[in-house]
């Protein structure tokens, strides 16, 4: 009967540890790990016993064959090779058992370390929960302040726009009033200038008349003076 080496059995066992390794995120299943380690050790021990029994049987067969010289040297050599093969398998089984025990010890340490790390993360999460609540409250408060500031800024902007609009209207009214007053003043000045020009023209005409009158008077006076000088001589 062909026996599977312990190393192959252990390797198969290692591939079967995925079910409890897949639970590492939430923590090992301690019972599954212990059952797996115990089954692996028992299986390795059983195979060691079976191989030891086969080795003993092979040795016995070798002894029997040595006692049966009629079987020939060929059968003796074959039995010796089988015994060596079984011895090699037994050595491998012992080595696999040692590795299995070391793996059991390592996984037990990792299991305990993982359990401690999980508890540490739970403690940290519990410690950070109040900070998370405070952060959420602060974030909500900041959002409220930001909304209030936005509303205030919008109100100030609206008021500024209203003031600018009113100022533009007042400037337009003042500009229109100044324009009307300027046009009225210009019309009044034009009327005054026209009146003054007329008066100046009339004054010029009167002055011309006065000059003409004075010239006539001067001519009359000259004539009278000349006539006065002529009368005594006669």
Q: What is the pLDDT of residues 50-66, one digit of tens each?
A: 888 888 887 787 777 66
In the structure, what pLDDT confidence band is assigned to residue 15 with cuts at 50, 70 and 90? Answer: very low
Please indicate, yes or no, if residue 58 is contained in any of the structural domains.
Answer: yes
Please indicate, yes or no, if residue 54 is contained in any of the structural domains.
Answer: yes
Q: Is the pLDDT assigned to residue 154 strictly greater than 50?
A: yes
Please indicate, yes or no, if residue 203 is contained in any of the structural domains.
Answer: no
Please indicate, yes or no, if residue 89 is contained in any of the structural domains.
Answer: yes
Q: Which of 18-27, 70-79, 140-149 comes out lowest in average pLDDT?
A: 18-27
In the structure, what pLDDT confidence band is assigned to residue 9 with cuts at 50, 70 and 90? Answer: very low
Q: Is the pLDDT assigned to residue 193 strictly greater than 60?
A: yes
Q: Which of 55-64, 71-80, 105-114 comes out lowest in average pLDDT?
A: 71-80
Region 194-219 average pLDDT:
79
User: What does the block give as tokens for 74?
Assistant: 């060929």
> For residue 115, which of 15, 28, 232, 31 has the smallest C-alpha distance?
28
Residue 89: CB atoms within 10 Å:
19
Statement: the pTM of the whole predicted model exceeds 0.85: no
Please indicate, yes or no, if residue 231 is contained in any of the structural domains.
Answer: no
Please indicate, yes or no, if residue 68 is contained in any of the structural domains.
Answer: yes
pLDDT of residue 1: 40
pLDDT of residue 11: 41
Residue 161: CB atoms within 10 Å:
10
Q: Which of 59-68, 106-115, 144-153 comes out lowest in average pLDDT?
A: 59-68
Over the range 116-130, which residues count as b (16 or more CB within 10 Å of their CB) and which as e? eeeeeeeeeeeeeee
Domain that includes residue 94, residue range? 6-136
Q: Is the pLDDT assigned to residue 17 strictly greater than 60?
A: no
Please indicate, yes or no, if residue 170 is contained in any of the structural domains.
Answer: no
pLDDT of residue 20: 44
Domain count, the chain: 1
Give me the torsion for CA of 227, 229, 232, 234, rounded to 10°. -60
pLDDT of residue 168: 79
- Dihedral sign (CA 159, 160, 163, 164): negative
Please indicate, yes or no, if residue 96 is contained in any of the structural domains.
Answer: yes
> For residue 9, which of 118, 66, 92, 126 has the smallest C-alpha distance?
92
Mean pLDDT (the chain, rounded): 73
pLDDT of residue 233: 52
pLDDT of residue 3: 41
């Amino acid at each position: 009967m062909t026996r599977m080496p312990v190393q192959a059995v252990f390797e198969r066992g290692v591939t079967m540890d995925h079910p409890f390794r897949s639970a590492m995120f939430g923590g090992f299943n301690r019972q599954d790990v212990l059952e797996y380690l115990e089954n692996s050790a028992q299986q390795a021990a059983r195979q060691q016993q079976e191989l030891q029994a086969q080795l003993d049987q092979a040795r016995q067969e070798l002894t029997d064959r040595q006692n049966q010289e009629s079987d020939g040297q060929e059968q003796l050599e074959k039995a010796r090779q089988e015994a060596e093969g079984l011895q090699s398998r037994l050595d491998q089984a012992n080595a696999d058992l040692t590795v299995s025990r070391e793996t059991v010890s390592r996984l037990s340490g990792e299991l305990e370390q993982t359990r401690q790390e999980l508890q540490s993360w739970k403690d940290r999460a519990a410690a950070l929960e109040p900070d998370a609540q405070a952060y959420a409250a602060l974030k909500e408060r900041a959002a409220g302040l930001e909304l209030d500031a936005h509303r205030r800024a919008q109100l100030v902007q609206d008021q500024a726009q209203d003031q600018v609009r009113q100022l533009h209207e007042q400037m337009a009214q003042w500009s229109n009033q100044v324009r009307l007053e300027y046009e009225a003043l210009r019309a009044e000045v034009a009327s005054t200038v026209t009146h003054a020009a007329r008066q100046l023209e009339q004054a010029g005409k009167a002055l011309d008349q006065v000059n003409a009158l004075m010239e006539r008077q001067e001519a009359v006076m000259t004539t009278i003076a000349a006539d006065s000088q002529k009368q005594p001589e006669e």
